[in-house]
Amino acid sequence: MAGLVTRPGVRDLPERQGRAVASRGTARMPHRRRPRGLALPLLGLTPFAAYVVLFLAIPTALAVATGFFTKGGAPTLDNVVGLFTPTVLGTFVSSAWISALTAVLGAVIGALVCYALLGLPEEGVIRRTVEAGSSVLAQFGGIMLAFAFIATIGVQGVLTVWLKGIGVDIFADGVWIYQVPGLIPVYLYFQVPLMVITFLPAMEGLKVQWAEANATLGGTRLGYWTRIAAPVLAPSFAGTLLLLFANAFSSYATAAALISQGAQIVPLQIRSALRSETVLGRENMAGALALGMVVVMVVVMSLYSVLQRRTSRWQR
């Protein structure tokens, strides 16, 4: 490496240039490219870098930082302290439990679907339809999803009316669809498909030979699933569970369309803070709430990437 660095003709960024040449091997016409140096290609990276700085780095930094300032620009900890008031903590708790519940239910149902798909030909109609349908529905958040559920289990929904016809009133204890519990079936509608598309590759990593070996050695079917498949799938399952949690935790549009009043979960609290319906008399509360969400998301996603690394071992 050191020898390469001192080659003649390398002017700017000698070390990088040296390494780039070294990694490609020495046989390739070194004369042609060298004189131009790296300035021009590096310039090629600037549009993307500028774009990401302007529309990802700065907004994220602003979102997280504004929580530490007053509207006037003076530094304050009021907003961050505001995170620990009972009202705001309550929204974090309801966000967390609804995310956790829909993640667990979504993961279990999704894993069952993946199991049901095992052994079907990859090019077959069923596999294709389930995969395409899942990738659409995993993206199917927002307003349209809210419409679908209002049409199904809204006050005049198809299912509501039909169940009433056979004597079951799903809203006997009040209309819960426009409350936090109403989000459970709605969120499941994108959680299960997300589970299917992310967990299916792991399920397919199970080799039939392992089951054969198990059977040959006198193992039972239950033994195969609990003692071979489960440990292999565990990191992937846990990872996807975290992904589902993060997915529900950060989801805003569906809740916004269903719950038009109030701020029962964190994203809705950010909505009312942004619309300057002052939360608890604190300015820039949106920034502090954003900070709280980012902290949760970073923790969840780091755990996810750790588990992901363990998973990839079995997917070769």
Of the ranges 43-51, 78-86, 90-98, 168-176, which one interacts with other proteins (CB under 8 A)? 43-51
Tokens describing residue 37: 């140096």
Separation CA 90–CA 178 (nearest Å)? 18
Of the ranges 3-11, 76-84, 175-183, 219-227, which one interacts with other proteins (CB under 8 A)? 219-227
Neighbours of 55 (CB within 10 A): 10
Q: Does 107 sit near other proteins (CB under 8 A)?
A: no
Of these, 132, 168, 175, 280, which contacts other proteins (CB under 8 A)?
132
Which three-class secondary structure state does DSSP give residue 29?
coil
What's the min distance (Å) between Cβ of 253 and other proteins? 4
For residue 223, the surrounding DSSP H or E stretch is: helix 221-224
What's the min distance (Å) between Cβ of 172 and other proteins? 21
Of these, 82, 103, 149, 198, which contacts other proteins (CB under 8 A)?
149
Separation CA 150–CA 135 (nearest Å)? 22
Between residue 225 and residue 244, which ones bind other proteins under the rule CB under 8 A? 225
First to last CA, the chain: 33
Separation CA 62–CA 59 (nearest Å)? 5
Which three-class secondary structure state does DSSP give residue 9?
coil
Of these, 22, 39, 52, 230, which contacts other proteins (CB under 8 A)?
52
Of the ranges 3-11, 75-83, 146-154, 176-184, which one interacts with other proteins (CB under 8 A)? 146-154
Of these, 103, 233, 241, 271, which contacts other proteins (CB under 8 A)?
271
Of the ranges 72-80, 90-98, 133-141, 166-174, which one interacts with other proteins (CB under 8 A)? 133-141
Percent helix, strand and coil across the chain, each to the nearest 5 = 75, 0, 25
Of these, 68, 69, 115, 314, which contacts other proteins (CB under 8 A)?
115
Cα–Cα distance list, 1 to 31, 42, 217 (Å): 18, 22, 54
Of these, 70, 76, 152, 272, which contacts other proteins (CB under 8 A)?
152
